[in-house]
Amino acid sequence: MTRVLIVDDQPLQRLGMRMFLSGQEDLEVVGEAGDGGAAIGAAAALRPDVVLLDIRMPGIDGITATHRILTAHPDPTTAPRVLLLTTFGLDDYVISGLEAGASGFLTKDSEPEAILAAIRAVATGDAVLTPNATRQLLDRIATSNTPPRAAHSNLPGQITPRERDILTALGHGMTNREIAAHLHLAESTVKNYIGRIFTKLDARDRVHATIIAFRAGLVDPNQH
Name the residue ranges covered by the structural domains of the chain. Answer: 2-128, 140-223
Give the domain 140-223 fold.
Answer: Arc Repressor Mutant, subunit A (1.10.10)
| Per-residue model confidence as pLDDT tens digits over 34-92 | 999 999 999 999 999 999 999 989 889 999 999 999 999 877 778 899 999 888 766 67
Q: Is 32 helix (H, G, I), strand (E, B) or coil?
A: strand
Query: Could you tell me which residues come within 8 angstroms of residue 117 by beta carbon, excluding any fewer than 6 positions away?
Result: none
- Provide the CB-side half-sphere exposure for 193 (13 A, CA): 22
Residue 152 — very low, low, confident or very high, per pLDDT cuts 50/70/90?
very low
Residue 180 clears pLDDT 80, i.e. is over it: yes
Residue 222 clears pLDDT 80, i.e. is over it: no
Rg, C-alpha atoms of the chain: 17
CATH code, residues 2-128: 3.40.50.2300
Q: Report the C-alpha gap between 50 and 184 in whole angstroms.
A: 33
The CA distances from residue 114 to 65, 77, 95, 107, in Å, are: 24, 25, 20, 10
What's the pTM? Answer: 0.75
Domains 2-128 and 140-223 share a fold: no
Most confident range (mean pLDDT) of 48-57, 144-153, 215-224 is 48-57
Q: Report the C-alpha gap between 35 and 53 in whole angstroms.
A: 9
Q: Report the C-alpha gap between 35 and 85 in whole angstroms.
A: 13
> Which whole number is the average pLDDT over 135-139?
71
- Provide the CB-side half-sphere exposure for 62 (13 A, CA): 28
DSSP state of 223: G
